């Protein structure tokens, strides 16, 4: 993990250029890059179109769900309002559950073709047309991860990185200047690269990186060199 870049804005493509410059400095070969996962920020999509036109843009499924949550709640409330008060809550739960299942059939489909079929079923639901219309422009982008050359692309953008950077070593502070922010980003990246993932054992879930640091997963285990040693260097 290379040090994070704090973009000056989300709308302009130029604001995202430092992110890809840093990735190149860290060793990314952009000619071998096939996909990028992000939220709906228009700036990064514009940068990909302008500078990396061959790169496919995978929309973060978590953000799509969050954007649809309000419409699901409105449709469920509207269905409940048309029923007697005694059964309104039960109807609201039923409609919310049915709509969530139909949306899941689109976003969690095994491939893009199945997702389009799920979108048709969502649109056919009495309370589904508005949700289907909001989701239709993003169906293809939500399933970039199922294409041949991007099958290992993550479906969710790493929101935890930003949260951890702001609330972890940064203690929630704004760093006050670009130089101090750069130092905090470098310190955060070194800490994360050297810190092993938590060892966990569960019956239903397997963690392939349990107990391994990002450096170890990349094939360069730090051995006896610690996070503090790296900071001193």
Per-residue pLDDT 10s for the chain (233 aa) are 788 887 778 889 999 998 899 889 888 899 999 999 998 888 999 999 999 999 999 999 999 999 999 999 999 999 998 887 778 899 999 999 999 999 999 999 999 999 999 999 999 999 999 999 999 999 999 999 999 999 989 999 888 777 777 776 666 566 778 888 888 888 888 888 988 877 666 666 666 667 788 899 888 898 888 888 988 87
Domain boundaries, the chain: 61-140
List alpha helices for the chain, DSSP H: 17-25, 42-51, 61-81, 85-107, 112-124, 129-135, 139-142, 159-164, 178-194, 214-217, 227-232
**DSSP state string for 15-31:** GGHHHHHHHHHTT--GG
Report the distance separating Cα 38 and Cα 199, nearest Å.
Answer: 28
Could you tell me which residues are beta bridge partners of residue 221?
A: none
Please give the Cα distance from 135 to 38 (Å, whole number).
16
Q: Which of 128, 121, 98 is nearest to 90 (CA)?
A: 98
Predicted pLDDT at 201: 64
Q: State the pLDDT at residue 199.
A: 65
* pLDDT value of residue 159: 80
* Rounded distance between C-alpha atoms, residue 122 and residue 112, angstroms: 15
141 exposure class (CB count in 10 Å sphere: 0-12, 13-18, 19+): middle
Radius of gyration of the chain (CA): 22
Using an 8 Å Cβ cutoff, are 144 and 56 in contact?
yes
pLDDT given for residue 200 in this prediction:
64
Q: Which pLDDT belongs to residue 187?
A: 87
Instruction: Write the CA distances from 160 to 74, 165, 169, 212, integer angstroms.
Output: 29, 8, 13, 18
**pLDDT at 52 (0 to 100):** 94
Looking at residue 208, its pLDDT comes to 67
Predicted pLDDT of residue 183: 84
| C-beta neighbour count of 91 within 10 angstroms | 17
pTM of the model: 0.80
pLDDT of residue 49: 93
**pLDDT given for residue 233 in this prediction:** 77
The two structure tokens encoding residue 32: 């071998």
- What pLDDT, on the 0 to 100 scale, is given for residue 170? 61
By the 8 A CB rule, do 192 and 1 touch?
yes
Structure tokens at 143: 């399933």
């Amino acid at each position: 993990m290379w040090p994070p870049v704090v973009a000056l804005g989300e709308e302009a493509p130029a604001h995202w250029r430092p992110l890809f410059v840093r990735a190149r400095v860290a060793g990314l070969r952009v000619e071998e890059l096939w996909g990028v996962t992000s939220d709906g920020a228009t700036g990064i999509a514009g940068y990909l179109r302008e500078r990396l036109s061959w790169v496919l843009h995978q929309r973060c499924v978590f953000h799509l769900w969050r954007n649809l949550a309000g419409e699901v709640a409105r449709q469920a409330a509207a269905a409940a309002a048309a029923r007697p008060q005694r059964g309104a809550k039960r109807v609201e739960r039923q409609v919310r559950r049915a709509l969530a299942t139909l949306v899941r059939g689109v976003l969690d489909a095994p491939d893009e073709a199945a997702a389009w079929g799920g979108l048709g079923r969502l649109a056919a639901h009495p309370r589904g047309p508005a949700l289907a219309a909001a989701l239709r422009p993003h169906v293809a982008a939500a399933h970039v991860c199922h294409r041949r050359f991007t099958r290992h692309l993550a479906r969710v953008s790493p929101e935890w990185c930003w949260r951890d950077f702001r609330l972890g070593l940064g203690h929630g502070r704004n760093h006050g200047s670009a130089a101090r922010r750069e130092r905090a980003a470098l310190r955060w990246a070194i800490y994360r690269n050297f810190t092993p993932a938590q060892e966990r054992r569960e019956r239903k879930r397997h963690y392939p990186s349990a107990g391994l640091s990002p450096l170890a997963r990349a094939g360069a285990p730090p051995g006896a060199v610690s996070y503090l040693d790296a900071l001193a260097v």
